[in-house]
């Protein structure tokens, strides 16, 4: 979640660093879009808006679970189906709200770049 006065990309960098130890502070993201997402926390008076950002790193980085994460890891993302199957096989959950962000934003963008 974005803290008061914080930009969405800054929140992403902070959250990822807190939860995985991966520091993207010196990386420039491609902002893929902003949209309201279906989230269990929304009410008639509040909703969740999400900013999709893509960071293309020059090499592999190690992710280590932080203080508020049970585990951290990487999965190959060639299709939403394969990603979902890999995450499920690892005993994790690919949240429904994340699927359209990954599929409609990141994968489409990457496919257009090739």
Q: What is the mean pLDDT of the chain?
A: 82
- Whether 6 shows a pLDDT value over 90: the answer reads yes
When pLDDT is cut at 50, 70 and 90, the band that residue 39 belongs to is: low
The full DSSP string for 34-75 is EEEE--TT--SS--EEEEEEE---SS-------TT-S-----
91 lies in some domain:
yes
69 lies in some domain:
yes
Tokens 């949209």 map to which residue? 35
- Name the pTM for this structure: 0.69
90 lies in some domain:
yes
2 lies in some domain:
no
Token pair, residue 10, equals 């800054």
Our count of domains for the chain comes to 1
1 lies in some domain:
no
105 within 8 A of 52, measured Cβ to Cβ? yes
CA 50 – CA 52 distance, rounded (Å): 6
């Amino acid at each position: 979640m974005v803290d008061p006065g914080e930009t969405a990309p800054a929140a992403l960098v902070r959250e990822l660093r807190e939860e995985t130890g991966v520091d993207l502070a010196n990386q420039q993201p491609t902002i893929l879009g902003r949209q309201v997402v279906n989230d269990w926390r929304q009410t008639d008076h509040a909703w969740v808006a999400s900013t999709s950002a893509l960071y293309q790193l020059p090499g592999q980085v190690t992710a280590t679970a932080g203080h508020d994460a049970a585990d951290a890891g990487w999965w190959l993302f060639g299709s939403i189906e394969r990603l979902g199957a890999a995450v499920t096989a690892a005993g994790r959950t690919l949240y429904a709200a994340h699927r359209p962000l990954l599929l409609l934003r990141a994968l489409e963008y990457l496919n257009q770049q090739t």
